[in-house]
Structure 1
């Protein structure tokens, strides 16, 4: 596909999503004007930040209070926040080896930056589609300075361990004299699964990164929360990495909006995700010879759906459904590890709360109708 074709397809999808009356998975991105309108609820007559003071410092204090840590540092991206955190821990432990899952964000989505930029090395306690457990950590054949746990593990299906498993894994890392860092880009929505408040979860780790745009709908930005001395060191590295722009107040205010308006709604999204996942399983089982809703009961408000069709066929069916019925059930599909097997991520948020089990069943049946009409191809006949 050429760049022009990709741009045309992206424009078509944007128009289709924006034209929908009903969206099950996630929703349309707000316009720039809509985002600016939201910020009017905050004090826009005050002075903006300058190199990390003012609103930036206020957000950092808010995050530290929410997570129960001594301090926090705002970063323009989570990628930078985590690289800085892991670099700091390597210096403090004297060990530049980071133990993490091969599906973790730095291994899949950062172009090898831990090694190329920070000079770190990674090892994998397990390759199974789950977080490392205590036995994996204890049995790792070589020393490591930091254990990084992504909560939830997004590319494996937004999966989480139980609270007992998580605490045991952390304890195993301590036994090996390693520090623990949480990739908590989506930590905000983990509290229902663990049955613990955010400070109790964050207290297990030596440092925690959280995102402001993935679940909270902010413009951009992240925070690294930890002890005051680690945050001070991280801020020094933040400056070296070019992560201290002159002003960042639009991103900061949108982060505050997410904390004020989206964070309280996340438990409701998680609860409704279980209803949506069950309805999808029932609807797909009636008409598709092979499928997976993974996990069967979502750990958060996000999960995967797998179908035995090429991604382009599934995406075309979804676009036609959106264009012709103003209803969209699934987002973008991607090819899986086998040809003709594809998956999509379902995010249950505000737009999905009005969907009943019957609505999910009807929308799914409608999508499958467009799929059959467009192409009967399947890897399972």
Structure 2
């Protein structure tokens, strides 16, 4: 039986939101469109997309926002424009930045900008990581929260100091806010307060929001208009954005409203995990509705454990699992969404206990 077939049979799935089939998703979109009289946009011109762009800008506290077909396109374009406007000085990025880890050197091979790695790869940025850079910078790009280190956040005071430093030196401050909605509960502050002081913010329409894909870039009207033109030049001028916009807009407000509940559920999960020392959790306390769980077994053994729990107990404990830094270790990400929110406390405790027991057997 394939992993996909095993997952489909599981009655308890810990990570993420419940996956809708294409038929379910499209039916929900059709019903929402019918109820709200939705018409297609044409190359981004239409009431639906313009209202939604305005709504995202409003929530983030910016003058304007524009849809982009992917966050990858949105971010490298933003940082290229910032670098071009400042004599092509380097862009400062954390070692775990999405641009480094997942984008196949696009910034370099496509000549977008020069990048400077700064900071500790296992810690979020402090103010000193940025203020201590002696080089002239065109931009600083800060991920909030930092996914590759378990959803960690820079301390609030450090974040404010970074904002002040960039403002004083004319450095473009950009946020990789793919999961910004999730960080609001961790900081205990509205997203507009977190975003205040940034020149631009990218956020995803499909991660926490649960849409089909796509992204938004928010900033000043002038910058957003310039970025939109460059999206077109780079092949992002899709004739109908409406499928992506509908999929996000129809659940946008509900997802934002649910973020505090996801965060509280993450705290509960953290406490459950701490009852099993064989499962090591990063960060030391939840800072967003996601965690990394480190295992003292190989990635191959972790995948076997997942199959065992799915086959024998109907439990799907994690999705992707990665090799750890040390031999015979592995770790996985747990994003807390509707699945865990809807799972009874007792079943969560049972699932974690079964996972821990299987890991302990693997040590033998």
Give the TM-score normalised by structure 2.
0.94
Structure 2: which 5+ residue stretches go unaligned? none
Cα deviation digits, residues 33-83 of structure 1 (max 9, x gap): 111122134234543111001132222112111111111110010000001
Equivalent in the alignment of 1:336: 324
- Give the conservation status (yes or no) of the 8 Å contact 2:206–2:213: yes
Cross-structure match for 1:132: 125
CA distance in 2, matches of 1:313, 1:258: 38
1:209-230 per-position Cα deviation (integer Å, ceiling 9, x unaligned) = 0001111111000000000000
Give the Cα–Cα distance (whole angstroms) in 1 for the partners of residues 38 and 338 of structure 2. Answer: 31
The 3-state SS of whatever aligns with 1:304 is strand
Offset at residue 28 of structure 1 (A): 4.6
Alignment partner for residue 40 of structure 2, among 41, 48, 53?
48
Q: Do the aligned residues in 1 keep the contact of 2:126 with 2:155 (CA within 8 Å)?
A: no
- Alpha-carbon distance in 1 for matches of 2:342, 2:254: 18
Distance 1:294 1:352 in 2: 18
Say whether 1:30 aligns with 2:20: yes
Task: Note if contact 2:13-2:315 (Cα within 8 Å) is conserved in structure 1.
Answer: yes
- SS in structure 2 at match of 1:142: coil
Distance of aligned partners of 1:215 and 1:27 in 2 relative to their CA distance in 1, 3 Å threshold: closer
Whole-Å separation in 2 of the counterparts to 1:224 and 1:27:
24
Aligned equivalents of 1:155, 1:271: Cα separation in 2:
21
Any stretches of 5+ residues in structure 1 without a counterpart? 1-10
Distance 1:292 1:371, change over 3 A: closer
Report if the CA contact (8 A) 1:188-1:198 is conserved.
yes
Alignment check: 8 A CA contact 1:218 1:255 kept: yes
Contact preservation (8 Å) 1:269, 1:348: yes
Contact 1:219 1:254 in 2 (8 A): yes
Structure 1 segments (4+ residues) deviating >6 Å:
none
2:167 is matched with 174
In structure 1, the partner of 2:262 is 269
CA distance in 1, matches of 2:13, 2:301: 20
2:241 is the alignment partner of 1:248: yes
Partner of 1:236: 229
- Structure 2 counterpart of 1:312: 300
Q: CA deviation at 1:357?
A: 5.0
- CA offset at residue 96 of structure 1? 3.7
Within the alignment, does 1:15 sit opposite 2:5 as a pair? Answer: yes
Distance 1:270 1:182 in 2: 21
Q: Which residue of 1 aligns with 2:59?
A: 66
